[in-house]
Amino acid sequence: MRQYLAGKIRNVALAGHGGSGKTSLAEALLFKAGASDRLGRVEDGTTVCDFDAEETKRKVSVSSAVAPFAWGSTKINLLDTPGLFDFAAGFYEGVRAVESVLITVSGKDGVTVGTEKAYQLALDQNKARMVFVSKMDTDNADFYKVLEELKATFGPSICPIVVPYVENHKVLCYINLIDNKAYTYNDKGEPSETAMPDFGHRLEGLRVAISEAVAETDEELFEKYFSGEQFDRDEIIRGIHTGVKNGTITPVLCGSAFTMEGVDMLLDAIVDHLPSAWESGGEVAEDAEGNPVEIECTDEAPLSAFVFKTVADPFVGKLSYVKVVSGKLASDSNPVNVRTGQTERLGKIIYTRGKKQEDTAFITAGDIGAITKLSEAVTGDSLCDPKRAVKFEPAAFPHPTLTMAVKAKNKGDEGKVAQAMQRLMEEDPTIYFEQDVETKQQLISGLGEQHLDVVVSKLKSKFGVEVELKQPRVAYRETIRKKVKVQGKHKKQSGGHGQYGDVWIEFEPCDSDGLVFEENVFGGSVPKNFFPAVEKGLQDCVKKGLLAGYPMVGVKATLLDGSYHPVDSSEMAFKMAATLAYKAGIPQASPVLLEPIGNLKVLVPDTYTGDIMGELNKRRGRVLGMNPTANGLQEIEGEVPMSEMADFTTVLRSMTQGRGSFILKFERYEQLPSNLEAQVIEEAKALDEAE
């Protein structure tokens, strides 16, 4: 592929709700532009962008895919992003790398949660926006109903520029409101100009709306419009381009990826209306002192780029996708990784289109490509000329919310699981893996059930490790509620030296994360050199409580008295005596179970607050307060037992149609209600027996 200057590059992310037709539209754009020789289908697993084994199996996009192509003299880097919320990492990394977001909306389903999320992320990141109403060939597709939904949801920036003429629920032709021309399409998706249909007042109203939107973008155009003059075609295109760049205009087009209707006009609109990398690809970065630095998107400036996506393959090696913001990234470049401070040795520099790779000598400013075998770089890293090391802001990925224990099917594969998970975490920043020291379980966290299902599948297909998912154990604690004083006496006689240790210990509750040991012995009844042995015996004991085997906390043990034998006493004997005192005293000290309590912050639209508060009450939660936040959402803050939150991700998504999100963090331990103790003790014993 030939090189393009930043002014001739359009970086566009395809985003929208799952099933709205993003991957099919990408296929139609590539085919129309001549970048692919056939029109692949998601159902057949033959599309350019859904090439991963998981994607062809599930028939949904699991990760983002880059697909560059040329339309006229302009290069378009298309990033197809997943629509399912479980695979949001691809959505966030795709939007981070581009200047514009093309949002697909099903002509049948209309504005959905995925539409709102795509629009909001584009708005938050100051990206230009364009909407394509897809699937106009399907039954019950209604462009004008969808248009009204778009206006009601996103406001006056919505501006249709290609609309259908419909009779008896069938599209007869498409009208380009800028050119003021109507087009029909044959069975190959090739356009033919046709007579303008009689559209009545609706057509005039749509044209006036465009003129008003254009007039708002420029003082000179406003004066011309105010004086009653008509805009010519170039003025309309210039005005729309300016409005899209500054966010006041969101053009709306329509068509069908399946029949190729309207795809040619969409390609023209991407080139004419969306900002180039030269116009909007510049970034504000941070220098070494943390000061903001404006980086212009130009080849003449020193090299600066950032890694927005990583693919970890055990056979091919690591592939790092980069967006070059300034300068040129060439094979002989020696950029410094700003995070590590080390110089990165570059492998091959390539362009990718789906799974196809093409070597290139360099990547210019504003362009997107990939580098093989970058040893240290991870997603979010900045690669720069050592003379001007600047740090770009990485994508803000959503936090993983669903945690499951992962168990290797073959004994001894735990190490392989850990290594493979490290590779997958490089690839997907929304995955988290940890080895829980307390419960001895390997835990993986993700964004939902499908997300973790894909992780399990990749562990097997990519790394040859078979695992199964289980509910993770809850890390309970045990403590006491009463003060008791007990004796522990260890006496054993067997020819020769015997064993003798005798202690009186007082156990009482205290505020601590473990055992607090003190001694208050008078008269040398227990020699000082045995104090450490008594403490060691107790410290070993509190690792496993007597109720359910969970660690003891909040216990103060005071050594008060005892006795010893000048020959038979030893450190081991006093350690055993302390153990006997523990086993005798704790059951008398009203032992109870403590459960972990989490601080929960749930973001939901106002209409769902009552349902969510009811759900938290069912889970033994306490609502602490409610605060309005940006975008019309309410933040509900509460405290809830961690043991009740295993399926909250799935339930919240179902209750709010995917609009809700939450963060749960461990806060403290509280006493478990007595009516639940027996069940927890029984489960703990069953787990111990199973192990």
DSSP state of 471: P
Q: How far apart are CA 286 and CA 280, in angstroms?
A: 18
For 599-634, the pLDDT digits (tens) are 999 999 999 999 999 999 999 999 999 999 877 789
Which amino acid is present at 492? K
First to last CA, the chain: 58
For 393-420, the pLDDT digits (tens) are 999 999 999 999 999 999 889 999 999 9
**CA trace torsion 272, 273, 274, 277 (10° rounding):** 50
The predicted structure's pLDDT at residue 200:
76
For 34-72, the pLDDT digits (tens) are 999 999 898 888 999 998 888 888 999 999 999 999 999
Residue 437 near residue 371 (C-beta atoms within 8 A): no
**Going by C-beta distance under 8 Å and a sequence separation of 6 or more, which residues neighbour residue 227?**
none
SS3 label, residue 689: helix
C-alpha torsion sign, points 266, 268, 271, 273: negative
Look at residues 488, 505, 509, 513 and name the one whose alpha carbon lies nearest to residue 558. Answer: 505
pLDDT grade for 312, boundaries at 50, 70 and 90: confident
Q: How far apart are CA 459 and CA 427, in angstroms?
A: 13
Which alpha helices (DSSP H) does 619-647 contain, by range?
A: none
Residue 408 Cα to chain centre, angstroms: 25
The predicted structure's pLDDT at residue 430:
96
Instruction: Give the CA distances from residue 422 to residues 86, 339, 435, 652, in Å, rounded to whole numbers and listed in that order.
Output: 19, 19, 12, 29
The predicted structure's pLDDT at residue 569:
78
Q: How far apart are CA 30 and CA 70, in angstroms?
A: 9
Instruction: Give the CA distances from residue 313 to residues 50, 373, 445, 459, in Å, rounded to whole numbers and listed in that order.
Output: 17, 11, 21, 11
Q: How far apart are CA 172 and CA 183, in angstroms?
A: 9
Q: How far apart are CA 336 and CA 343, in angstroms?
A: 4
Q: φ and ψ at 474, to 5 degrees?
A: -90, 135
pLDDT grade for 202, boundaries at 50, 70 and 90: confident
For tokens 């210039």, the residue is 238
Q: Is this prediction's pTM over 0.85?
A: yes
Residue 646: count other Cβ atoms within 10 Å of its Cβ. Answer: 15
Q: How far apart are CA 459 and CA 17, in angstroms?
A: 27
pLDDT grade for 574, boundaries at 50, 70 and 90: very high
Residue 244 near residue 131 (C-beta atoms within 8 A): no
Q: Is pLDDT above 80 for 493? A: no
Q: How far apart are CA 397 and CA 441, in angstroms?
A: 26
Which amino acid is present at 629? T
> What is the overall mean pLDDT for the chain?
92
The predicted structure's pLDDT at residue 476:
94
Q: Is pLDDT above 70 for 540? A: yes
The predicted structure's pLDDT at residue 690:
66
Residue 70 near residue 351 (C-beta atoms within 8 A): no
C-alpha torsion sign, points 537, 543, 545, 549: negative
Instruction: Give the CA distances from residue 308 to residues 89, 344, 400, 593, in Å, rounded to whole numbers and listed in that order.
Output: 11, 16, 19, 46
Q: Beta strand pairing status for 661-671 and 441-446?
A: unpaired
Which alpha helices (DSSP H) does 284-346 contain, by range?
A: none
Residue 631 Cα to chain centre, angstroms: 20
Residue 236's Cβ-count burial label (10 Å; 0-12, 13-18, 19+) is buried
Report the percent of the chain where pLDDT is more than 70.
99
Instruction: Give the CA distances from residue 626 to residues 373, 601, 622, in Å, rounded to whole numbers and listed in that order.
Output: 48, 9, 12
Q: How far apart are CA 304 and CA 319, in angstroms?
A: 18
Residue 529's Cβ-count burial label (10 Å; 0-12, 13-18, 19+) is exposed
Q: Is pLDDT above 90 for 194? A: yes
SS3 label, residue 567: coil
**Token pair of 601, please?**
């912050």
Look at residues 236, 253, 108, 240 and name the one whose alpha carbon lies nearest to residue 174. Answer: 253
The three-point CA angle 504-509-511 to 5° equals 130
Instruction: Give the CA distances from residue 11 to residues 76, 413, 447, 614, 648, in Å, rounded to whole numbers and listed in that order.
Output: 6, 43, 27, 45, 37
Q: φ and ψ at 631, to 5 degrees?
A: 65, 25
Q: Is pLDDT above 90 for 686? A: no
The secondary element (H helix, E strand) that includes residue 425 is helix 414-427
**CA trace torsion 176, 181, 185, 189 (10° rounding):** -50
Look at residues 321, 330, 429 and name the one whose alpha carbon lies nearest to residue 374. Answer: 321
The predicted structure's pLDDT at residue 274:
98
Q: Is pLDDT above 80 for 497? A: no
Q: Is pLDDT above 80 for 494? A: no
For 72-93, the pLDDT digits (tens) are 999 999 999 999 999 999 999 9
* Mean pLDDT of the 249-263 span: 96
Residue 530 vs residue 689, higher pLDDT: 530
Q: Which residues pair with 477 in a beta bridge?
A: 594
**Going by C-beta distance under 8 Å and a sequence separation of 6 or more, which residues neighbour residue 361?**
330, 331, 349
Residue-range domains of the chain with CATH: 6-280 (3.40.50.300), 283-384 (2.40.30.10), 402-470 (3.30.70.870), 478-589 (3.30.230.10), 594-686 (3.30.70.240)
* Mean pLDDT of the 632-660 span: 93
DSSP state of 395: P
For 260-296, the pLDDT digits (tens) are 999 999 999 999 999 999 999 999 999 988 899 999 9
For 545-563, the pLDDT digits (tens) are 999 989 999 999 999 998 8
The predicted structure's pLDDT at residue 691:
60
Q: How far apart are CA 194 and CA 182, in angstroms?
A: 6
The secondary element (H helix, E strand) that includes residue 537 is helix 531-541
Q: How far apart are CA 8 and CA 114, in angstroms?
A: 30
The predicted structure's pLDDT at residue 567:
77
